[in-house]
Amino acid sequence: MKRTPKVIIVGAGLGGLECGYLLSRHGMDVCVLEQGAQVGGCLQSFRRHGLQFDTGFHYVGGMGEGEILHQLFSEFRLTGLPWVKLDTECFDEVFLDGEHYAFANGYDRFADELSKKFPQQRPHIAEYVNMLRRSQSALLSQGGAADSTSETLLATSAYQYLQECIPDERLRKVLSATSLKMDLRADTLPLYIFAQINGTFVQSAWRLRGGGQVIADTIADGIRTHGGQVRTRTRVTGIHVNEGSIDHVILNDNEIIPCDLVISDIHPNALFPLLEEGSLRKRYVQRISSLENSFGVFTVQLLLKEGAVRYRNRNIFIHNHAKIWHSETWDDRQNGTSIGVHFSVPTDGSEYTRNIDLFMPMSWQEVAPWTGTRPTQRGNDYDEFKQRNAEAAISAVLPYIPDIQGNIEKIIVSTPLTYRDYTHTFEGSAYGICKDYDHLISTMLPIRTPIPNLFLTGQNVNFHGVLGVTVTAKMTCGQVISALPMLS
Which residues in 156-188 are b (16+ Cβ under 10 Å) and which e? Answer: bbbbebbeebbeeeebbbbbbbbbbbbbbbbeb
- Domain ranges (residues) in the chain: 6-57+211-291+435-487, 79-209+292-428
317/309 Cα distance (integer angstroms) = 18
Give the bridge partners for 94, in sequence order: 101, 317
Position 95 pLDDT exceeds 70? yes
Question: Which uninterrupted H or E stretch holds 85?
Answer: strand 83-85
Residue range 313-323, pLDDT digits in tens? 999 999 988 78
Band the pLDDT of 141: cuts 50, 70, 90: low
Cα radius of gyration rounded to whole Å, the chain: 22
Provide mean pLDDT across the span 151-166: 91
The secondary structure of 303-367, three-state, reads: EECCCCEECCCCEEEEEECCCCCEHHHCCCHHHCEEEEEEECCCCCCCCEECEEEEEEEECHHHH
Tell whether the model's pLDDT for residue 413 goes beyond 60: yes
pLDDT tens string 419-428: 998 888 888 9
Distance CA 179, CA 194 (A): 8
List phi, psi (to 5°) of 449. Answer: -115, 170
Mean per-residue pLDDT, 56-83: 94
Cα–Cα distance list, 426 to 141, 268, 291, 371 (Å): 34, 9, 12, 12
Element spanning 208, H or E:
strand 205-208
DSSP class of 410: E
User: How would DSSP label each residue in 457-485?
Assistant: -STTTS--HHHHHHHHHHHHHHHHHHHHH
Listed residue (22, 142, 93, 15) closest to 467, CA to CA: 15
Q: What b-and-e string marks burial along 448-481, b requiring 16 or more CB atoms within 10 Å of the CB?
A: ebebebbbbbbbbbbbbbbbbbbbbbbbbbebbe
Look up the pTM and report it. Answer: 0.94
SS3 409: strand
DSSP code for 276: P
Average pLDDT over residues 181-202: 92
Instruction: Out of 152-166, 298-312, 316-330, 403-417, pick the least confident.
Output: 316-330
Q: What's the pLDDT tens digit per position in 126-138?
A: 999 999 998 887 6
Q: pLDDT tens across 103-113, in order?
A: 999 999 999 99
Q: How do 315-320 and 92-96 pair as beta strands?
A: parallel
What does the mean pLDDT of the chain come to?
A: 91
pLDDT at 3: 60
The pLDDT value recorded for residue 110 is 97
| 209 C-beta neighbours (distance < 10 Å), count | 14
Residues 417, 367 contacting (CB under 8 angstroms): yes
* Torsion 13-16-21-22 (CA) sign: positive
**pLDDT number for residue 197:** 92
pLDDT band at 83 (very low <50, low <70, confident <90, very high): very high
Closest by Cα among 4, 59, 3, 62 to 30 = 4
State how far the Cα of 143 lies from the Cα of 77, in Å rounded to an integer. 17
Residue 149's pLDDT is 66
Q: pLDDT band at residue 1, thresholds of 50, 70 and 90?
A: very low
- Taking only the tens place, the pLDDT of each residue in 334-380 is 546 899 999 999 988 889 999 999 999 998 999 999 999 988 889 99
Handedness of CA 77, 80, 82, 83 (dihedral sign): positive
The answer for residues whose C-beta is within 8 angstroms of residue 484's C-beta and 6 or more apart is 5
CATH class of 79-209+292-428: alpha beta
Question: What distance, in Å, lies between the first and last C-alpha atoms of the chain?
Answer: 13
What one-letter code names the amino acid at 459? Q
> Which positions ≥6 away from 368 have C-beta within 8 Å?
none
d(CA 431, CA 74): 25
Which element (helix H / strand E) includes 245?
Answer: strand 245-251
Q: What is the side-by-side order of every strand in the sheet holding 255-258?
A: 236-242, 245-251, 255-258
The CATH classification of domain 6-57+211-291+435-487, taken from the options 3.50.50.60, 2.40.30.10, 3.90.550.10, 2.40.50.180: 3.50.50.60
